[in-house]
Copies of this chain bind each other. A is one copy, B any other.
C-alpha cells in the first residue's frame, strides 16, 4: 500500500496506486451522495482555508463545497488579488495561518512552485493542496479529468487522448499529461499553434502536432483548452474565427475522432473560439460531468490529506 499523501502539489511522480485510491474514494463519495447522503462529518471540527492569490470563483467554490460536505469549516482568506505576496512575506502569512491552527490550506498562486515552497516552509502539520500554480500544475483538475475518462473508458492502455490549445501556458494540460501518463494512456497527443506549444523536450513521450485534423484522427478523448484572449497576439492567425477554423472543435472535426470520442474542457468555455456550441452541448460532451467529478475528487483529496 502506498503511503498516505500529506499534501497534494502535483501529480508528477505519484504512483498509480495513489491516484487510483483517490479516484476510488471520489467514486465512493459520489455513490454515497447519490444514495441520499447530503453531508458527511468525517472532517467535522477541521478548518480549511482558501488562500487564492489569483481569482477563481469556480475552483474556489468547488473546494468550498467539497470541504463543507465533509463537515469542515471553510475560511476564505481574501487577499483582494492585488497581493503578489512571495518570499518572506508569503512565509509569514503561512506561519500566521499555521499559528491559528488550520488543518489545510488550498492555495492558488501565479508563480509556479508556490505550493511546494509552502510545504517546505510549513512548521506545523498543516496540509497544502495546490489549486493551480502558474503554468505548472493543477492536480485536482488532472484527477477529475482522469476520473471522468475512467468512468467511460477504463482501459487506459488502449486510450488515445488529444489535448488541444495553449499547451505551453496551461497547468491543466500539464496535470492532465501527468495523470494520463501515470494511468498508462497509450498515446497522448498535444496540438496547438507553434507559439503555444511546449518545448519539444518537455514531454518526450507525447506526440506533438500543429494540425488539429491530424491530431484528432482516431482519438478516444479530446480535451480542449480555454484560449486566453490576450494570447491571440502570440498566435500567427488573424483573429478568433481563424483560430476556431484551425483549432476549434466542431462536429466535422469530431467525426475524425474515434466513435464516441469524449469531449472535455476545463471551463469556462469560449464558445466559437476553441469549441462549437453544438459540440459543447452535444451527446459526447462530458464537460458538466467534469464539474460534478471535481467536487468529489476534491472531497477525496481533503479526506486523504486530512485523515488522522
Q: Give the Cβ gap from A303 to chain B, nearest Cβ, in Å.
A: 16
Q: Is there contact, CB below 8 Å, between A88 and B289? A: no
Taken together as a complex, chains A and B put the C-alpha atoms of A39 and B101 apart, in Å, by 12
CA distance A99 to B47 in the complex (A): 25
Name A96's contact: one of B55, B79, B291 (CB within 8 Å).
B291
Proximity string of chain A (29-62) to chain B, C-beta cutoff 8 Å, 1 when within and 0 when not = 0000100001100001111010000010110011
Determine if A100 and B33 form an interchain contact, defined as CB atoms under 8 angstroms apart: no
The answer on a CB contact under 8 Å between B88 and A267 is no
Interface status of A21 (Cβ within 8 A of chain B) = no
Query: A6 interface residue, CB < 8 Å from B?
Result: no
Among A57, A78, A102, chain B packs the most CB atoms within 10 A around the CB of A57
Asked whether, in the complex, the Cβ of A77 is within 8 Å of the Cβ of B57, the reply is yes
For A288, give its contact among B99, B268, B291 (CB under 8 Å): B99
* A168 close to chain B: CB less than 8 A: no
Give min CB distance, A191 to chain B, whole Å.
Answer: 24
Q: Please tell me if A135 contacts chain B, counting CB pairs below 8 Å.
A: no
Tell me the bound Cα distance from A102 to B277 in angstroms: 24
**Chain B residue contacts of A97, Cβ below 8 A:** 61
- Please tell me which one of the listed residues B33, B55, B80, B267 contacts residue A101 in the complex, with CB atoms under 8 A apart: B33
**Contact pattern, A 151-167, Cβ under 8 Å of B = 1, otherwise 0:** 00000000000000000
A78 / chain B contacts, CB cutoff of 8 Å? 57
Instruction: Indicate whether A92 reaches chain B with its CB closer than 8 angstroms.
Output: yes
CB–CB B100/A61 < 8 A: yes
B88 & A292 in contact (Cβ 8 Å cutoff): no
Q: Does A89 contact B (CB under 8 A)?
A: yes
A99's contact among B79, B92, B96, B292, by CB below 8 Å, is which?
A: B292
> Which A residues form the contact surface with B (CB < 8 A)?
33, 38-39, 44-47, 49, 55, 57-58, 61-62, 64-65, 68, 73, 75, 77-80, 88-89, 92-93, 95-102, 267-269, 271, 277, 288-289, 291-292, 294-295
- A–B Cβ pairs within 8 angstroms, 20 of them: A38-B44, A38-B46, A39-B73, A47-B65, A49-B61, A58-B96, A61-B77, A61-B100, A62-B100, A68-B73, A92-B269, A93-B268, A96-B267, A96-B288, A98-B288, A99-B288, A99-B291, A100-B291, A101-B292, A101-B295
